[in-house]
Amino acid sequence: MSDLFGDDPPPPSPKPRQGGSAAAGESAPASRAVGRPEAARPLADRLRPQKLSEVVGQEHLTGEGGALTRMLANGSLGSLIFWGPPGTGKTTVARLLAGEVDYAFEQISAIFSGVADLKKVFESARLRRRNGRVTLLFVDEIHRFNRAQQDSFLPVMEDGTVVLVGATTENPSFELNAALLSRARVLTFQSLGPESLGRLLDRAEQDTDRALPLDAQARELLLQLADGDGRAVLTLAEEVWRAAGKNEVLDAETLLSVVQRRAPIYDKGQDGHYNLISALHKAVRGSDVDAALYWLCRMLDAGENPLYLGRRLVRMASEDVGLADPNALTVALAAKDAYDYLGSPEGELALAEATAYLAAAPKSNAVYVAYKAAMRAAKEHGSLLPPKHILNAPTKLMKEEGYGTGYLYDHDQPDGFSGQDYFPQEMGRQRFYQPTDRGREARIGEHLARLEALRRERGGS
């Protein structure tokens, strides 16, 4: 049954224990169907797994040899952080773990809970512990707790008052305290692939004893619209059953009109944002025009600010195309300005044009590498003065000090090139820029090589 999905049904019945009744603060688990006719309950609730082996799509954790399977086999369960997208089973797996090891299950949400709530939960857990029962404390959206609130978990984790299982959709490395992370193991939950989502639909059809009224193309589209979210695919299936007429089979176009579409999972301030802009940048760098356009459109479709994308394209032109095609920077700037002038939706085409141009252009990061090397040298060598021969001498004193003495005006020299040294005397000549043999930069490299030969010939090196 499906690994569903953040709702809050009663936990599975614990395994029998020696010694009689539950500890103070606990109540007997109620029947899952009490007061709720089976047909009225949502599919995501009806199909909720009752054991770990029924969880779909997280076999790397719950299957044979999976991380959680190994922990349970060893008879111990430490504190955990579940990291993954919505609808992948984090809440359900936490509940099932509590049942497997016969821990009391306590759940709070960081969205609705504060310090007072945490104190009550910790006190209840201490009472259970005095009665010989361990508490598994499941904290949904744990990344929403501030640093001080996260620190409050440390003592109760260390003394065994609770086994913490936190769930987050955000990267724990950025959102959770290092002290908390050092006391918990991070387990990654994966988005459900088409095969896993398809298995959920199969189970839904078995549960309802009805075939989903979709043709093959529409069924495939439904899986795509679920966007890796198991709860979403079952919710969409329910919408289809409610909307379809008697003996009607929906095609893809009708399906879209019935269910509209789910917004892509994308947080412009968090991981989704950085993952997609990284994918766009690397596709441009890797000269894959089609992939670059795809990632650009993914971000635009998710509501990213197009001017942000324009600024990133300018950066790509400087970093990854460079002097292999100096026109790339002009194209990127023009695309940003075109969007700024036209707005949406017309302006997005200019961004697409720039993306395709940058991806197709010859690549060189030679200027980028040279810039970093020159900046490193500037920091390392301190406040060295320029050589005196290239300093202006507007006063008599400065002339007496030798400012400007021996300077050769390049335009008056053969080939328009003096070959003089322009680095600080204490530093000596440096070589930062190494042109590639790609695109326009190949010609630049040939020109610089000729000048270097003249410099050596004229004693400037």
The model's pLDDT over 404-413, given as tens digits with 9 standing for 90+, comes to 888 899 898 8
Residues 218 and 163 in one domain: no
Residues 208 and 183 in one domain: no
What CA–CA distance (Å, rounded) separates 439 from 99? 64
Taken as a whole, the chain contains a residue count of 461
Pairing assessment for the beta strands 185-188 and 162-168 based on DSSP bridges: unpaired
CATH number of the domain encompassing residue 443: 1.10.3710
321 belongs to a structural domain: yes
Tell me the CA distances in angstroms from 119 to 61, 129, 155, 219, one per residue in order.
Answer: 31, 15, 12, 48
351 belongs to a structural domain: yes
pLDDT computed for residue 30 by the predictor:
36
Q: What's the whole-model pTM score?
A: 0.60
CATH number of the domain encompassing residue 70: 3.40.50.300
Residues 313 and 437 in one domain: no
19 belongs to a structural domain: no
Spell out the residues 6+ positions from residue 385 whose beta carbon is closer than 8 angstroms to its own.
391, 424
21 belongs to a structural domain: no
Residues 182 and 198 in one domain: no
30 belongs to a structural domain: no
> Per-residue DSSP letters for 41-97?
S-HHHHT--SSGGG--S-HHHHSTT-HHHHHHHTT----EEEE--TTSSHHHHHHHH
Residues 57 and 134 in one domain: yes
376 belongs to a structural domain: no
Tokens coding 81? 């952080």
pLDDT computed for residue 281 by the predictor:
96
Q: Is 3:88 a contact under the CB 8 Å cutoff?
A: yes
Pairing assessment for the beta strands 104-109 and 185-188 based on DSSP bridges: unpaired
Residues 202 and 175 in one domain: no
pLDDT computed for residue 42 by the predictor:
81
- 171-209: b or e for each residue (b if 16 or more CB lie within 10 Å)? ebeebbbeebeeebeebebbbbeeebbbbbbebbeeeee
Residues 44 and 184 in one domain: yes
* Mean per-residue pLDDT of the chain: 85
What CA–CA distance (Å, rounded) separates 71 from 56? 19
Residues 221 and 328 in one domain: no
Q: Is 111:144 a contact under the CB 8 Å cutoff?
A: yes
Among the candidates 360, 394, 423, a domain finishes at 360
What CA–CA distance (Å, rounded) separates 39 from 33? 10
Residues 175 and 310 in one domain: no
Residues 164 and 223 in one domain: no
Extract the residue ranges of the chain whose pLDDT is less than 50.
1-35
367 belongs to a structural domain: no
Angle at 298 between CA 296 and CA 304, to 5 degrees: 80
Range of the structural domain that residue 411 is part of: 382-457
Q: Is 136:94 a contact under the CB 8 Å cutoff?
A: yes
What CA–CA distance (Å, rounded) separates 112 from 300? 32
Residues 151 and 113 in one domain: yes
3 belongs to a structural domain: no
Structurally, how many domains does the chain consist of? 4
Q: Lay out the sheet containing 80-83: strands in order across.
A: 104-109, 135-140, 162-168, 80-83, 185-188
- The candidate with the shortest Cα–Cα distance to 167, out of 63, 268, 272, 94, is 94
